[in-house]
Chains A and B, each alone.
Chain A
């Protein structure tokens, strides 16, 4: 009985610690999410957690100072003296705060703490970031300024155009190769395969300069084909290794009979291997897709500054550099770029996890 209670207590402790860790882990993304819906002026002046109910000073009664009071001398309010600077910053007395309401009109506001819950949320930020049209921005002082939108939608399509083939092509090429490595016998098989395994860990930086030179001379720079090929090559070692692990585990007699019936290797591959490999293809495909979708370095180098092909990560990094304090743009842009990965993550989590473990848990 005592043991059971002890066990239960332990479990509660585990739950609490894990809960705290999860909360910390979630907090950064939550902050971004909330901020992306707040008006620009609000983000700059109050923390995003202020959308939750919180205590804030609210305006109370107004004290009118007599005309003859010299504002450079200590100012007497309700029998106590305050300096001008104190009133500028606000002084707290008995839970109330004294603050200049209008220094020129000599009015002081007595504020009280009160619960406040009036989150102002808007879709403006998203509209601005997506459309790229000019739009009005309300400043804190009530004036309006015109701002050019950032036009992320083009970049969104570019990213998709790059990511889909850059996922399918390497997975297809790698599957053909994996099939050959697993089930066909040819000279140099072992050496080639071990070389591909070794390439798993080669930093792609060693390839960038020469590949860029080749691309420049071939006119592939800033083209879809060029970036597909780059992503394909850089992703191939992992995808091949993963697909090899899967395809080589398939039972041999399964397609031996097909071979006896006179099916060619291509037919066997297309009609038998590919359908059988769907779970593996899906999991490594998701992984490759996310990798390409989230990539920054490869795009930065092979796309350069052609806006018509730029991907989202580049646009956002640009935004950070050029408009680092425009949080309303940054937060919504970042969240748009996260939509696809997050959707895939939550919908296909099972496959995603399997894709991760395929290459690493064996052994």
Chain B
């Protein structure tokens, strides 16, 4: 084959691939416009939208790889990986990496992002009373919440392992994981519900009055203790997560080590602290990390339960307020960056762990 012929093929391939790309953009763009302006029955719109969303993505990959196959093999081989990872990288770059950098940039500017103010947003955040409260509460959430989830998770995993109805018990504890924080908020608002007088419809106050106590407005009473009542919701929801993973890890502890310890006369408590805990320490670390990351971003619970009133504000709700209510882009961005800085050690630990596992 002459080099000219080869070039002609490439020329055709180039045209084809460009055509495919343009066609993809055009078709999907048109469909998008159609959906945006459509006045169809919502149910039909929903079905069509789902079809488009799912098939559209598959077709994009399909047409693009087809276009690449028109190229000579060696070129195609080099391009193909980038088509496979392309959408993921583009989306992450556009919606996560670049925004993070832009947020960092915005955090050095004033409320309307027009004037450069250096580090003064950061200074303001650490001196502002509201912000300080939000930061303090977030620390409270992370420490108390994570500690309680991990401890409860371990306890229940151990208990379930020795009980006669392990499966049901684990399902019950795990179930709140499937519930949204908003729904959980409703559930717990009802439990903490307070009304003056004798008859209480909130479970907690009913118990308190049953034992002769005074009903309390749990989520707004003596600050900062009300925060603990919100944290209980997190514990209720996340303990199941910790438990499931601990339970799997505990089952991995070799039976002969446990038997040997029992023969030596160690009691169960000793076995737990001397053998089981050290054996599953990596799992404990990962679970703790996951819950910390999760708790740092806590938002929905506070928003639904108190709306951040009564000194229950956390960083994420403050962020929302600064950005959407006060239109203070500077503060909003700074808060997000503070959150990111708080997570940095966790990122580093995770990457180290990942390298240790020999991921690459």
Task: Please list the residues of chain A having a beta carbon within 8 angstroms of any beta carbon in chain B.
Answer: 10-11, 14-15, 17-19, 21-22, 25-29, 31-32, 35, 43-49, 154, 157-158, 160-161, 164-165, 168-169, 172-174, 176-177, 179-181, 184-186, 189-190, 192-211, 214, 219, 223-225, 228-230, 232-234, 236-237, 240, 264-266, 269, 290, 293-297, 300-301, 308, 313, 316-317, 320-321, 324, 327, 330-331, 333-335, 337-338, 341-342, 344-346, 349, 352-353, 356-357, 360-363
Contact = CB atoms under 8 A, between A and B. Distances in A.
| From A43, A205, A237, A308, residue with most partner B Cβ within 10 Å | A205
B135 interface: no
B300 to A, nearest CB: 5
Nearest to A314: B182
A22 B201 contact: no
B266 to A, nearest CB: 15
Given A173-B57, A320-B186, A331-B190, A361 B99 contact: no
6 contacts: A21-B169, A176-B85, A192-B85, A207-B103, A225-B32, A363-B282
Contact of A357 (B35, B45, B88, B244): B244
Contacts of B201: 43-48, 327
Given A157-B42, A237-B92, A165 B84 contact: no
Contact of B190 (A10, A14, A31): A31
A176 B58 CA distance: 10
A32 B53 contact: no
- In the A-B complex, the 3 residue pairs with the smallest Cβ-Cβ separation, listed nearest first, are A165-B53, A294-B180, A233-B95
Interface residues of B, number: 121
Contacts of A177: 84-85, 87-89
A18 B360 contact: no
B65 A317 contact: no
A225 B31 CA distance: 10
B96 interface: yes
A331 B160 CA distance: 31
A25 B89 CA distance: 41
A31 B187 contact: yes
Interface string B1-44: 00000000000000000000000000000001001100000110
Interface of B: 32, 35-36, 42-43, 45-46, 49-50, 53-54, 57-58, 61-62, 65-66, 69, 78, 80-82, 84-85, 87-89, 91-92, 94-100, 102-104, 106, 156, 159-160, 162-165, 168-169, 171-183, 185-191, 193, 199-203, 206, 236, 241, 244-245, 248-249, 268, 282-283, 286-287, 289-290, 293, 296-297, 299-300, 303-304, 307, 316, 319-320, 323-324, 329, 332-333, 335-337, 339-340, 343, 346-347, 350-351, 353-354, 356-357, 359-360
B88 A173 contact: yes
B336 A338 contact: no
A224 B53 contact: yes
A29 B179 contact: yes
B303 A203 contact: no
Nearest to A267: B65
Contacts of A194: 351, 354, 360
